[in-house]
Amino acid sequence: MKTIEMIRIKCAVAFFLLNLSVFFLVNGFCYAAEGGYPTKVEIIDKSQAKYDKPENTYAAMISSLIKKDLEWYYETFTIESAAQNKREYEEAGIDPRKKFDTVKGLKDIFIINKIEYKFGIILVVKSYEKDGTIMQGPSTFVQENGKWKMTNKFSGDEELHEYLDYIKPEEIISSTIKINPNRWNLNWYNWIKEHMEEKEWIRHFAERVSILCMIANLKDNQGTPYSVKEIVPETILFNYLLHPQPWRFNREEKIALIVKSKENRYFKERKGFKEWHHTNKLLKKHKSPVMLVKFNKFKAMETLPEMSSGKEYELTLSGELKNGKQFKGTTRIIITGWNAKHRWKWNHPDWLNSEKDIDNWWNKKNDFEDWWKKTIKKHER
């Protein structure tokens, strides 16, 4: 990314971002992973627009472009910046409706950081386009008449250039991703969501149960292989939103573990790992090390849009290598549902384990299993 070509690209991006106020997109009101960021935002209607915080102002600005409402677009800026924006387009002889073209081809967009800057706020935004391009840039906000509005006030500040990035599809390292289990039950999710705040044992179960993700076969567009040992575990995200659920071994905590490495010693204390290791096709297929990461199952399902039983969904695992390159891999899961004749009793914990999550070796921990046995026994009285 340090080539002359990339510097020129970044300067071009900076021109659009900072001078013409054509900012990178985000999808609307926020869904936030733990820790606050990244957040994904949904597109809103003008009647839903709020300017109580920069994130909501940004959602309004992007939504105005999606809905091709130029008047609304200018309302998301300070009076001075809106006037400057109109003037620049007029002097350049550019139809301001060309702004609407900037939202074409976008797939997913996220706010990845929020930073105090001078007398305003910076939102650092990352967009993923349909062609695989990744772009990152800053959007700046100040308060005007009690509302957060976008501003061009800092457009000449070179300090903002450090937040710019542009990654072409061919620069991204591909990977093979496998997820266990790959069938997730919608009834299970909905019932937990409805009752987890009222019953501690439901909430505790939802916080502990995880899915297992395997990362292997990293290679660039020329076929050059990379080891999973090059992945920076702290950068791994599920659907660009969710951070891994750490592995815990006695007093140690690790974000990711690598099979076929010195870390094999961590697996010896996990009941069921040995049998799974000997029968797993992915592990047999790849002679090189395979990385294992866990994600909270309930939170992983929260990242899916409008779940429907019987529908397939594409999932993405992404992150960064030690050399700064990005990697990405996709896989698919199916959302299932219980039929009308299911016999689960909602007031008994058995239904929580209807998908046999506790039986999976990556969820087997003595403290969790002991808690589960006590919970079952308590409800059998």
What's the rounded Cα separation, in Å, for the pair 296 and 207? 7
Q: Where are the beta strands (DSSP E) in 56-119?
A: 106-117
- Tell me, what CATH number does 122's domain have? 3.10.450
Among residues 169, 188, 221, the one where a domain terminates is 169
**Residue type for position 183:** R
Q: How far is CA 328 from CA 132, 230, 305, in A?
A: 10, 14, 20
Whether residues 299 and 370 fall in one domain: yes
Whether 267 contacts 277, CB under 8 Å: yes
Classified as helix, coil or strand, 260 is coil
Which pairs count as long-range contacts for 265-269, CB under 8 Å and 24+ apart, including other chains?
A: none
**Whole-structure pTM value:** 0.81
Given this model, what pLDDT does residue 297 score?
96
Residues 249 and 164 in one domain: no
- pLDDT of 365 reads 79
The one-letter amino acid at 195: H
Same domain flag for 204 and 336: yes
H helices within 186-332, ranges in order? 186-195, 200-208, 264-267, 273-279, 281-285, 297-302
Q: Are 270 and 361 in contact (CB under 8 A)?
A: yes
What backbone torsions phi and psi does residue 295 show, to the nearest 5 degrees? -135, 145
- Do residues 162 and 199 share a domain? no
- The count of residues in the chain is 381
Cis? peptide before 38, omega within 30° of 0:
yes
What is the three-class DSSP state of 123?
Answer: strand
The total number of structural domains in the chain stands at 2
**Separation of alpha carbons 75 and 21, rounded Å:** 13
Q: Is 68 helix (H, G, I), strand (E, B) or coil?
A: coil
Same domain, 164 and 207: no
Burial 305-317 (b: 16+ CB within 10 A, else e): eeeeeeeebebbb
Decide which of 122, 139, 169 is a domain's last residue. Answer: 169
The domain containing residue 309 runs over which residues? 172-380
Q: Residue 259: what pLDDT?
A: 83
Question: Is residue 106 located within the same domain as residue 206?
Answer: no
Whose tokens are 């002991």? That residue is 370
Q: Do 87 and 155 reside in the same domain of the chain? A: yes
Nearest to 68 by CA among 98, 88, 89: 98
pLDDT value at position 377?
A: 77
Residues 17 and 156 in one domain: yes
Q: What is the pLDDT along the chain (381 residues), one digit of tens a residue?
A: 433 333 333 333 333 443 334 333 333 344 444 447 888 877 899 999 999 999 999 999 999 998 999 999 999 999 999 999 999 999 999 999 998 888 888 788 899 999 999 999 999 999 888 888 889 999 999 999 999 999 998 988 998 999 998 889 999 999 999 999 999 999 899 989 988 888 888 889 999 999 999 999 999 999 999 999 999 999 999 999 999 999 887 778 889 988 876 666 667 667 777 777 777 766 667 667 889 999 999 999 999 988 999 999 999 999 999 999 999 999 999 999 876 556 666 667 777 887 888 888 888 877 787 887 888 777 765
Please report the pLDDT score of residue 2 as a whole number.
38
Cβ within 8 Å of residue 194, ≥6 positions away: none
Angle, CA 322 vertex, CA 283 and CA 14 arms, to 5°: 125
- Same domain? For 251 and 367 the reply is yes
Same domain as 153, residue 212: no
191 and 159 in a common domain: no
**Are both 209 and 358 inside the same structural domain?**
yes
Q: DSSP assignment of 314-344, as one string?
A: EEEEEEEBTTS-EEEEEEEEEEE---TT---
Cα separation, 309 vs 322, in Å, equals 39
**Parallel, antiparallel, or unpaired: how do β-strands 173-180 and 326-336 relate?**
parallel
Q: What is the pLDDT of residue 5?
A: 37
Last residue within a domain, chosen from 100, 134, 169: 169
